[in-house]
Amino acid sequence: MLLTLRRARRPENPVDRGCATCPMAGSAAVHRHGLTTEGADYVVALAGNPNTGKSTVFNALTGLRQHVGNWPGKTVARAEGAFLAAGKKFKLVDLPGTYSLLSNSADEEVARDFILFGRPDVTVVVADATALERNLNLALQVLEITDRAVLALNLMDEAERKGIAVDHRALARDLGVPVVPMAARRGQGVRDLVDVVARMATGELACRPHRVGSFEPELEAAVQRVADALRQAHPGLPNARWVALRLLEGDPNVIREALAGTLGEGAHSQILSIEEVGKS
């Protein structure tokens, strides 16, 4: 549950002194319009339950130039865009809403595959502050598989309207990752999110998320044996431990995909396109 802030820095930018009524006012570090996703330094995934404001956050960050199409082999819409921050280019991928990494509708599979196998540099989980308990299910699952995650606590205006107070600092302490309170529709919190994402992607901000920890020795040994076998059969497969756990649980979809050799296929073209642009 340690959150290590190696350096807290927020550079002054003349845009800060710009149009105060613009929803992006204060988003000093973001330059968004007219950017293509080519040559991105980092890839950021926007995940979260349905209807939590992922696309609203996406639009606030990427502006007008978005690439919209379908995920390969699926009729699930895919949107990508880019923004610049801290002198780096970030490719942002807006994922379909999902309640869990264990779900299996076409939409949810796309989100799951990208989070698990698409190797995003940072995963932003956009959560609904009015329904935190339900939203934290996915957040905790994401924290099991990556150190580089941020909780964007969106709809804070709605929460306030409903008389719900969320202690975001306590939440950040308990989760072990940064929590950014937001009201994305008004542009609130967007700048803070960009700052945190940029610092996390560059390694300036390092986290130790809260985890379940290891299992009973017998189960732990079994997980490791299956994970090792998976790594041998599928060299380069990220999150082999997660897949091993699902196989041991008897998850029929993961078993089917592992047998067919299609695990993570949804993320494949994404991985290729990232490699093609020469990501370091």
Ligand X SMILES: Nc1nc2c(ncn2[C@@H]2O[C@H](COP(=O)(O)OP(=O)(O)OP(=O)(O)O)[C@@H](O)[C@H]2O)c(=O)[nH]1
CA distances from 82 to 25, 97, 152 (A): 18, 20, 18
The least distance separating ligand X from the CB of residue 178, rounded to whole angstroms, comes to 18
The β-bridge partners of 174 are none
Which pairing describes strands 88-94 and 122-128: parallel, antiparallel, or unpaired? Answer: unpaired
C-beta separation of 188 from 194 below 8 A: no
How many CA within 13 A on the CB side of residue 218? 0
Residue with Cβ nearer ligand X (111 or 227): 111
Residue 53 contacts ligand X per CB under 6 A: yes
Residue 278 near which of Mg ion, ligand X, none (CB within 5-8 Å, type-dependent) = none
Residue 51 contacts ligand X per CB under 6 A: yes
CA distances from 158 to 30, 38, 61, 178 (A): 25, 36, 21, 21
Q: b/e per residue, 198-219, with b = 16+ CB within 10 A?
A: bbbbbeebebebbeeeeeeeee
Residue with Cβ nearer ligand X (122 or 240): 122
| Binding residue (CB under 6 A) for ligand X from 62, 154, 239, 270 | 154
Piece in contact with ligand X (CB under 6 A), picked from 49-57, 113-121, 197-205, 246-254: 49-57
The least distance separating ligand X from the CB of residue 100, rounded to whole angstroms, comes to 14
User: What does the alpha-carbon distance between residue 76 and residue 256 come to, in Å, rounded to a whole number?
Assistant: 21
- Binding string, residues 78-107; x marks residues near ligand X by CB under 6 A: -------------------x----------
Strand, coil or helix: 207: strand
The least distance separating ligand X from the CB of residue 66, rounded to whole angstroms, comes to 13
Residue 160 contacts ligand X per CB under 6 A: no
Residue 56 contacts Mg ion per CB under 5 A: no
Residue 55 contacts Mg ion per CB under 5 A: yes
For residue 31, what is the DSSP state?
A: B
Residue 129 contacts ligand X per CB under 6 A: no
- Binding string, residues 177-206; x marks residues near ligand X by CB under 6 A: ------xxx---------------------
User: What does the alpha-carbon distance between residue 27 and residue 191 come to, in Å, rounded to a whole number?
Assistant: 4
Residue 245 contacts ligand X per CB under 6 A: no
Residue 158 near which of Mg ion, ligand X, none (CB within 5-8 Å, type-dependent) = ligand X
Question: For binding to Mg ion (CB under 5 A), which residues are involved?
Answer: 54-55
